[in-house]
Amino acid sequence: MTPGILGADSGHHGSESRPCKKIKTSPAMDTLVDAAAAAAAVPAHPLRLRPSGNAYTAVEDLKARCGSFARLPDETLSLLFESFDAGALLRLGSTCRALYAFTRLEELWRALFVSSPPDNFEWRGTWRSTYLGIPPERVTSLSCQNLFSDVLYRPFQCANISLEPFTSRIPTQNAIQRLPDLTYAEYAENWTNKPFILTSPVKEWPVYGKWSPEYLLKQCPNVRFRAEAVDWPMHTYMDYMSNSSDESPLYLFDRAFAEKTSIAIGRDAPDAAYWAPDCFGEDLFAVLGEHRPDSRWMIMGPKRSGSTFHKDPNATTAWNAVLTGSKYWLMFPSSSSLPPPPGVILSDDHSEITSPLSIAEYLLTFHALARETPGCREGICYAGEVLHVPSGWFHLVLNLEDSLALTQNFVPTKKLPDVLGFLRDQRDQVSGFKDEVCDRAYELFVERLNETRPEILEEGLAELEKRAKKGRGKWDELTKSDAEESGGFSFGFGGDDDEDIDVRL
């Protein structure tokens, strides 16, 4: 998807020029049609600048008037300006309209803010205004009508385009299964390798129906929470949530929220605020005691915030419970013989996942393909529901509304071999442990399991051994997909007792 030739304010997107929805199309085509309609519905850019293609028919181009800078491609200009300080950006921006527009790019001011946050600031709706302390009545907005730049227009488009076409009409075969609840036996037997949504357990938690962003604002307005690279008081983050228009909104992700809000967690804790749903059973990382890696987070963010494609650390499994709002999940299994999800690039050793696109840009560019890719799973987790993220699955998450969620990463007994294998064989990717134990996480985990759960450890190591013996030759790896090997309808994860995941071929 690239911005169309016509800008949103061009007045040329009347009903006749809209693609006709009545034409019979494939599901992917439907999404494209919807995406095109959504693109046309983006409001005018506040500076009136338009996508690059408009330059072909324009009689004037403001960029031509910015001296030697006009020779540089827009991408280079914006990269260059990343090395400028606030004073340089302001001076340059006052020389002509084109440079005014380039130096207004919010990403530049966000980076300046993060690298040197001002003391006692107040969130003022944009990173530029916040960094410079400009009150709303003094914010200028010059018209840059004859400036045509995808680099400047695209973040605005991605921040404003409707994402609804991508998160609705989920094909039945992709839909993540929804169940009231599971027993531990059912989970262990059939579900450890599948995403699913449970609709009952969270509704029993004392925090459900009580905690919300507004509740947290009331309870702890001045408590600082981690939001990506900044620690902001709750009142500042709430101001940001209600008044910002970032393409990739700052996401609150705090691992010390329980201490900060003085809550107790766990079925057995007196006055517990919540507990892990029973079906997930024992968390084997508990044997690590004070050495266990980070395991729980409170997640809060505005509509359109979320997580780009990633796998969870150390081959852990996770659950993610929505307290308020709702989240769209796009998920893919992984294995050594499967390619990563469309648009996601893995480094050779699979240690780095590169997904440089924002969530909106990913959806605009790759969603149609992702939806048609075998193994794709999609679902919406609503308030009071919890989603299971199986070990090793790629996932992208988009908040459909302002949302508050709690998440926990754990090691279910069935996935012990995966975690042992990861800690032993992918040492440079082990994360979340304190520095002093990070290098010997595998040895420590084995030692602690041996002390407290020797029979489970023995079974886990035996399974790991079995998988290694069963490991296929390089030729098979390169020439056959798991799906082919298992008859064309499913693939496993290597273990005998792995459930199959249906893939459409």
Ligand X SMILES: O=C(O)CCC(=O)C(=O)O
- Of 100 and 394, the one with the shorter C-beta distance to Fe ion is 394
Q: How far is the CB of 253 from ligand X (least distance, A)?
A: 7
Q: Segment near Fe ion (CB under 5 A), from 9-17, 70-78, 305-313, 477-485? A: 305-313
Site string for Fe ion, 84-103 (x = CB under 5 A): --------------------
Q: 353 and 294 in contact (C-beta within 8 Å)?
A: no
Residue from the set 34, 74, 283, 312 that interacts with Fe ion by CB under 5 A: 312
- Which residue number, 4 or 277, has a Cβ lying nearer to ligand X? 277
* Direct distance between the N- and C-terminal alpha carbons of the chain, in angstroms, rounded to an integer: 26
Count other C-beta atoms under 10 Å from residue 417's C-beta: 23
Q: CB count, 10 Å around CB of 418?
A: 27
* 304 touches 410 (CB < 8 A): no
**Closest listed residue to residue 226, CA positions, set 196, 255, 267:** 255
Count of chain residues binding Fe ion (CB under 5 A): 1
What is the nearest approach in angstroms of Fe ion to the Cβ of residue 296? 12
Contacted by 174, from ligand X, Fe ion, none: CB < 5 to 8 Å by type: none
Half-sphere exposure of 462 (CA within 13 A, CB side): 7
Q: Which residues contact 257 (CB under 8 A, 6 or more apart)?
A: 225, 296, 297, 298
8 Å CB contact between 197 and 387: yes
Name the DSSP class of 22: T
Name the site residues for ligand X (rule: CB under 6 A): 297, 299, 306-307, 312, 318, 320, 327, 395, 397, 405, 407
Q: CB 232 → ligand X: shortest distance, Å?
A: 18
Nearer to ligand X, 104 or 296 (CB): 296
Rounded to the nearest whole angstrom, what is the least distance from the CB of residue 310 to Fe ion in the complex? 6
Q: Which stretch binds Fe ion (CB under 5 A): 226-234, 296-304, 311-319, 336-344?
A: 311-319
412, two tokens: 């279910």
Q: Which is nearer to ligand X, 69 or 297 (CB)?
A: 297
Of residues 156 and 297, the one with the C-beta less far from ligand X? 297
192 or 320, CB closer to ligand X? 320
- Give me 324's structure tokens: 């308020």
Residue spans of alpha helices (H) in 118-149: 127-132
State the binding partner of 405 from ligand X, Fe ion, none, CB within 5 to 8 A by kind.
ligand X
Residue 449 CB, nearest approach to ligand X (Å): 24
Estimate the share of the chain in helix, then strand, then coil, as percent rounded to the nearest 5. 40, 15, 40
Residues engaged in binding Fe ion (CB under 5 A): 312
